[in-house]
Amino acid sequence: MKLLDGKELSLELQKEIAAEVAAHIADGGRKPHLAAVLIGNNPASKSYVGHKVKACAKAGFVSSLVERSEDITQEELLTIVKDLNEDESVDGFIIQLPLPSHIDDQAVIKAVKPSKDVDGFHPENVGRMALNLPTFLPATPGGIMTLLERNGVKTSGMHAVVIGRSDIVGNPMTSLLSRNSDPGNCTVTQCHSRTVDLKSHTLKADLLIAAVGRPHFITADMVKDGAVVVDVGINSIADASRKSGMRLTGDVDFENVAEKCSLITPVPGGVGPMTIATLLQNTLRARLASTS
């Protein structure tokens, strides 16, 4: 078994991005600017945004944070989006999900200017991705594709099983793996909570992508010998040995599944850092596109 090390690769990508930023500045350009909109006090959202801001600084980006309380109105949030769309100093921005339940998140996502939608969630960008046209790939599945590519995983002809059908992970992952590209060219089965006999599907997976949000959901008896396993899950579980009393773990029972795999991502240190690196790549592309 070999680790698909997203932490190490993300550091390499951050260096590559920093070098491109330096070259752009030497050419008379300016630092890319990523803005993040954070609504409410969700600790996980705060932590994700914190990581993104730190990564921006490391790569030589400008970052800014627009923070508002949980009771923001839809109209107020749409005004923030409009201002960011019009602000020429901002190259790309993200609206950290989930949004409070009284907000229509699709209406907010649709209001983002597609050329600044570095999360790749706007319907126009989702459509471009489905048609294999140049666009911003959603950061998590985009990062997984890079992780597979840079580790030389030959996905062509593989039977991939994706568990999950969210708009941010499962659906775009299915689309990217099935398209005629490298990595890609997989035969994809997409599973979800209504799938009958999930194990009969996962056992056929040469490439298994778990994006369920349930700790240790994928057990060793569900995995084929020699499979490549990508664990997207980020779950917080109790751990009395930690000062915080909690630790992060994935959707895969890593200890037992790892023995059966040819390659596997750890949690933390697998998909998470790749997500952030991809967001930076998207923002850099937005900056370069606005100058061309």
The residues that touch ligand NDP, with contacts defined as CB under 6 A, are 140, 163-166, 168-170, 191-195, 198, 211-213, 232-235, 271-272, 275
Would you say 31 or 125 has its CB closer to ligand NDP?
125
Which distant-in-sequence residues (6+ apart) come within 8 Å of 96 by Cβ? Answer: 36, 37, 38, 39, 45, 48, 49
Examine the residue annotation and report whether 52 is marked as an active-site residue of this protein.
yes
Among 119, 206, 251, 253, which one carries the catalytic annotation? 119
β-bridge mates for residue 230, sequence order: 209
Q: Report the Cα 81 to chain-centroid distance in Å.
A: 21
Contact predicate 159/206, CB 8 Å: yes
CA distance 155 to 182: 7
Q: What is the rounded CA–CA span in Å between residue 179 and residue 92?
A: 26
Q: How far is the CB of 45 from ligand NDP (least distance, A)?
A: 11
- Minimum distance from residue 75 beta carbon to ligand NDP (Å): 26
Q: Which of 96, 190, 206, 251 is catalytic?
A: 96
The CA-based angle 89-91-92, given to 5 degrees, is 130
Q: Which is nearer to ligand NDP, 31 or 230 (CB)?
A: 230
Nearest residue to 274 via CA among 45, 13, 3, 44: 13
**CA distances to 40, 46, 169, 287 from 37, in Å:** 10, 10, 20, 19
Q: Which is nearer to ligand NDP, 183 or 270 (CB)?
A: 270
Least spacing, CB of residue 30 vs ligand NDP, in Å: 28
Beta carbon of residue 149, minimum distance to ligand NDP (angstroms, whole number):
17
CB 138 within 8 A of CB 130: no
| Nearest-CB residue for ligand NDP | 166
**Nearest distance in Å: CB 64, ligand NDP:** 21
Contacts of 247 (CB under 8 A, 6+ apart): 236, 237, 239
| CB nearer to ligand NDP: pick between 40 and 213 | 213
Minimal distance, residue 237 CB to ligand NDP, in Å? 11
Look at phi and psi of residue 242 and say left if phi exceeds 0, alpha if psi is from -120 to 50, else beta.
beta
> Which residue carries 């593989």 as its tokens?
158
- Of 191 and 258, the one with the shorter C-beta distance to ligand NDP is 191
Identity of the residue, 166 or 178, whose beta carbon is nearer to ligand NDP in the bound complex:
166
Q: Which member of 5, 14, 31, 52 is catalytic?
A: 52
Q: Catalytic residue numbers?
A: 52, 96, 119
